[in-house]
Amino acid sequence: MKVLVSDNLSPVGVKVMEEAGLTVDVNTGLPPEELAKIIGNYDGLVIRSATKVTEELLQNATNLKVVGRAGIGLDNVDIPAASQKGIVVMNAPDGNATTTAEHAISMMLALSRNIPQATGSMKAGKWEKKKFMGREVTGKTLGIIGIGRIGSIAASRAQGLKMKTIAFDPHMVPEMAEKIGVELVDLEELAKRSDYITVHVPKTKETANLVSTEFFNNMKQDGMFIDCARGGVCDEKALYEALAAGQIGGAALDVFAEEPTTLENCPLLGLDNFICTPHLGASTSEAQENVALIIARQVSEFLNSGSVTNAVNVPSVSSDVLAQVGPYITLGEKLGSLHMQLSQGGVQEVNLEYSGELAELNTSPITVAFLKGLFTPILKDAVNYVNAPVVAKDRGIRVVESKTDRSGDFTNTLSIRVVSEGGENVLVGTVFGRNEPRLVRLNSFRLEALPTGPMLLVFNKNVPGAIGALGTTLGNDDVNISRMTVGHEEESNQNIILVCTDQLVSKELLKKVLDLDQVSAAQVLDLNGV
């Protein structure tokens, strides 16, 4: 078996693969056209962030069986295209968590003591001792946006510095936050109370420009902002305006909306109260050795024995089990993503009921797939088929499974009730034919919907013209409806309309939909990549 390493990888990873009997070629910095010419010779591909695994590249990958990312982010991999070709995509989601958290703390201390500015001053031949007065972090409050794995480590390190820690995370239940010594607050309160603020969330449609003008307006005038998570979570224009006006005390970024980043595309770099690093959050020798070892072992085990670990597009099950429950694994993951997007507040409990002939099969991979789908909208690449149950446990979510041979209207059904702080939702799904997942119930509404791609969920009055008004509103904004399913609730005389659209409905268009007289509520849903 041959493996190509196309990005810089610690030599320990190459050694592990060679010791496992694989032939390893290290060929980094290849232009896309050169990589496309040789990729057909390889069974495995190991990358970091530089190589772009596109659909076009995969068309030439006639022998490729696995792509291993030495790190967490998979923005540079076309996962649906890989899945379609049967190529397993793996990552190492926990390999650099400690390093990234420590980098955020380092940025906080550098901001507090003006270390980069003072270094630059001395190297310019100056001795400006009075100019760079700093401040202590002891007793100050650190606000953490996102209290997952990395955010929790950052909290622990800050507590070691005798800091108070508060956090915003709408998907974390208070009991679990309390266990790690963090007080949960809303985003506005976090901005107002924090002396320092650090971001630890992936970039999703919910977190894009999460930190913007209103947030900075609420911060303390001497407050300091740090982002070592993902570019685009912070609105860089709004941050520039806040820093330039002296509205906040300082900021430090390790990640940017556009990378590589220069003064030409990021005016922040010209401000004295701004410090930065070129995406170094995971760049320590320990972290790079760690992720190299992890991904090398995973790729070796897969190519030598078919063992799947930390895969984002295939569960760790035998081919026999996959043949029996494969379509329900897909269904479970889709229902999980829908549940998280519908939930209000942190998820507390999950109840999965398997009915009909499905109850007689090994359903544990379906439960795992559901949990992966549940966390994907909020954790993105940090969750996979292996660690999803651990994530649920760490967040204090109770997972209950039950089975019955009664299935009602369908041969097999998967019914899932999710209890969150804001209430509960029930979704019921089944599989039509051999592999077509369907959503057949949403709470008290019965329907037969194909859960796929961008969607719009509309609650409307059961009156003439409602569907026409919705179609006209979407059409006026050049949004095409590819599918539409209507569900009815007799008691309330309410309908739901689940619309599949060719593109994601914008916030502006959603507001127009909500302004329709016949519409009582509406929400954008997205199952792309699930």
Residue 206 has pLDDT above 90, yes or no: no
DSSP label at 95?
Answer: T
Return the half-sphere exposure (C-beta side, CA atoms, 13 A cut-off) of residue 328. 29
Q: What is the pLDDT, as a whole number, of residue 316?
A: 67
What are the extents of the domains in the chain? 1-95+284-310, 97-276, 315-443, 450-530
Q: What is the pLDDT, as a whole number, of residue 309?
A: 82
Kindly indicate the confidence band of residue 332, based on its pLDDT and cuts at 50, 70 and 90: very high
Q: Beta strands of 256-404 (E only): which ranges?
A: 274-276, 347-356, 398-404
**What integer best gives the mean pLDDT of the chain?**
93
HEC readout, 128-174: CCCCCCCCCCCCCEEEEECCCHHHHHHHHHHHHCCCEEEEECCCCCH
In contact, 172 and 200? CB cutoff 8 Å: no
> Topology of domain 315-443, per CATH?
60s Ribosomal Protein L30; Chain: A; (3.30.1330)
Residue 529 has pLDDT above 80, yes or no: no
Of the residues 19, 34, 259, 401, only one is catalytic, namely 259
**410-438 per-position pLDDT tens digit:** 889 999 999 999 999 999 999 998 789 99
Q: What is the pLDDT, as a whole number, of residue 322?
A: 74
Whether the domain at 1-95+284-310 and the domain at 97-276 fall into the same CATH topology: yes
DSSP label at 280?
Answer: -
Over range 212-225, report the average pLDDT. 98
Q: What is the pLDDT, as a whole number, of residue 319?
A: 64
Respond yes or no: is residue 230 known to be catalytic.
Answer: yes
Q: 450-530 architecture in CATH?
A: 2-Layer Sandwich (3.30)
**86-100 per-position pLDDT tens digit:** 899 999 988 889 999
Return the half-sphere exposure (C-beta side, CA atoms, 13 A cut-off) of residue 368. 22
Of the residues 193, 200, 279, 438, only one is catalytic, namely 279
**390-404 per-position pLDDT tens digit:** 899 989 999 999 999
Question: Which listed CATH number (3.40.50.2300, 1.10.10.10, 3.40.640.10, 3.40.50.720) goes with 97-276?
Answer: 3.40.50.720
Kindly indicate the confidence band of residue 221, based on its pLDDT and cuts at 50, 70 and 90: very high
Respond yes or no: is residue 483 known to be catalytic.
Answer: no
Respond yes or no: is residue 171 known to be catalytic.
Answer: no
Kindly indicate the confidence band of residue 318, based on its pLDDT and cuts at 50, 70 and 90: low
Among the listed residues 520, 111, 404, the one whose alpha carbon sits nearest the alpha carbon of residue 277: 111
**355-414 per-position pLDDT tens digit:** 998 999 999 999 999 999 999 999 988 888 878 898 999 899 999 999 998 867 788 999
**Homologous superfamily of 1-95+284-310:** NAD(P)-binding Rossmann-like Domain (3.40.50.720)
Of the residues 48, 157, 230, 339, only one is catalytic, namely 230
Q: What is the pLDDT, as a whole number, of residue 249?
A: 97
Q: Say how many C-beta atoms besides its own lie within 10 A of residue 336's C-beta.
A: 28
The two tokens of residue 105 are 């703390």
Can you tell me the distance from the alpha carbon of 205 to that of 303, in angstroms, rounded to the nearest whole number? 35
